[in-house]
Amino acid sequence: MLSRVANTLYWMVRYVERADNLARLIDVNQQLLLDFERLDSERLRGFWQPIILSTGDEEAFSKLYDNSGSGEVIRFLTDDPRNLNSITSCISLARENARTVRDQLSDELWEELNALYLFTRSDDARRLLESDPPKYYGNVRRSVMTFLGIAASTISRNEAWEFMDLGRHLERADKTTRFLDFSSYLPPGEDGAETGSPGILHWTAILRSCGAMGAFRAGHHELSARGIVDFLIFSKDFPRSVRYCIERVDASLHLISGTPRGAFSNEVERESGRVLADLNFGSTEDVFATGLHDYLDKLQERFNQIGAEIFETYVLMPERIQTSPGPRSSSLSDVAAWQMEQQQQQ
């Protein structure tokens, strides 16, 4: 497979997955705030700032907005064209990637992605976002699930599929850690009280944002911070847990290269194997002993490293690696900008 095609398929699905996760995050946070009716406007803003911090886009946000209220954050993450990581920007980038590899996609897959693109830019979508935000985000989420279902039903299980699956699970693992890290940025309560600290409502909101409430209850897990962290990081079966996603990332990388599992033929396989081993032999006790935020922050850095190694292994031409390195920044906006620059040069 051409490296350009592999890169395009990888990012097409990764952008779609990112849009879905942003829709989940915003929708759940809006519903969570309904339980905090006593908050004044200043402390209410304190509940939206953590979303920007947890997504890693605080620098881009600060350049565009002076305040971090609900309106500004929702605008920035939903339909601000200046934010390359907003929902509408991600869908637009996914569609542009899909357009350049139409011959690799089924007609049904293209039609679903194109329909989602047209919806996010329609007057109906803007009116819906103002009058009924949960319905807007629900539409985005359902369209993304339909897209992924069509992909699973119509794409041959070849290298094209593996690059798509690779992008989906790497993005999903990153966003699950960011959902869990949201509690690290919550504001303190009045007079030092922990009104804003993560409680049962907060942790159930995280489960809902990951679509994990049903699976969590079915497994009879303890509804506590420790139980939820254990489930969303270390579950072997739940498809949004970090461990499950990295196992799929490692499997896709080895299927692409043909290297047996347990060995490695390049740096990205070495790094994915290390992360997977740490998750296989890690525990919730290790997480809290390290500190939840520090543990998740290190995971996110390692995911960024895997992404950078994917570029150097499968996208960059060998003679260009020294002169045109792939992105190593933790900012997803920088990654998107870098990719657009590379596409324009092709």
Residue 27 one-letter amino acid: D
At 324, is the pLDDT very low, low, confident or very high (cuts 50, 70, 90)? very low
Average pLDDT over residues 329-333: 47
R_g over Cα of the chain: 20
Average pLDDT of the chain?
A: 85
C-alpha distance across the termini of the chain, in Å: 16
State how far the Cα of 177 lies from the Cα of 175, in Å rounded to an integer. 5
Residues 192-248 have pLDDT tens digits of 334 444 577 778 888 888 999 999 999 877 788 899 999 999 999 999 999 999 999
- The reported pLDDT for the residue numbered 336 is 55
Q: Is 64 a residue whose pLDDT tops 60?
A: yes
Q: How many CB atoms lie within 10 A of CB 213?
A: 15
CA angle 123, 128, 133 (to 5 degrees): 145
Average pLDDT over residues 6-21: 96
pTM for the full predicted model: 0.86
- The reported pLDDT for the residue numbered 319 is 45
Q: What is the widest separation between alpha-carbon atoms in the chain?
A: 61
Average pLDDT over residues 71-77: 89
- The reported pLDDT for the residue numbered 249 is 98
- The reported pLDDT for the residue numbered 340 is 55
Q: Is 332 a residue whose pLDDT tops 80?
A: no
Residue 22 one-letter amino acid: L
Q: Is 323 a residue whose pLDDT tops 80?
A: no
Q: How far is CA 270 from CA 3, 24, 46, 253, 298, in A?
A: 20, 32, 40, 10, 17
Q: Is 131 a residue whose pLDDT tops 70?
A: yes
Q: Is 262 exposed, middle or buried (0-12, 13-18, 19+ CB in 10 A)?
A: exposed
Average pLDDT over residues 103-129: 96
Residue matched to tokens 């990764």: 14
Residues 297-319 have pLDDT tens digits of 999 999 999 999 999 999 885 54
State how far the Cα of 2 lies from the Cα of 341, in Å rounded to an integer. 18
Q: How many CB atoms lie within 10 A of CB 298?
A: 14
Q: Is 329 a residue whose pLDDT tops 70?
A: no
At 339, is the pLDDT very low, low, confident or very high (cuts 50, 70, 90)? low
Nearest to 77 by CA among 10, 133, 13, 144: 133
- The reported pLDDT for the residue numbered 82 is 93
Domain ranges of the chain: 3-345
State how far the Cα of 219 lies from the Cα of 197, in Å rounded to an integer. 26
State how far the Cα of 74 lies from the Cα of 55, in Å rounded to an integer. 13
The H-or-E segment that residue 331 falls in is none
Helix (H, G, I), strand (E, B) or coil at 212: coil
Eight-class DSSP state of 187: P
Q: Is 54 a residue whose pLDDT tops 60?
A: yes
Over pLDDT 70: what percentage of the chain? 82
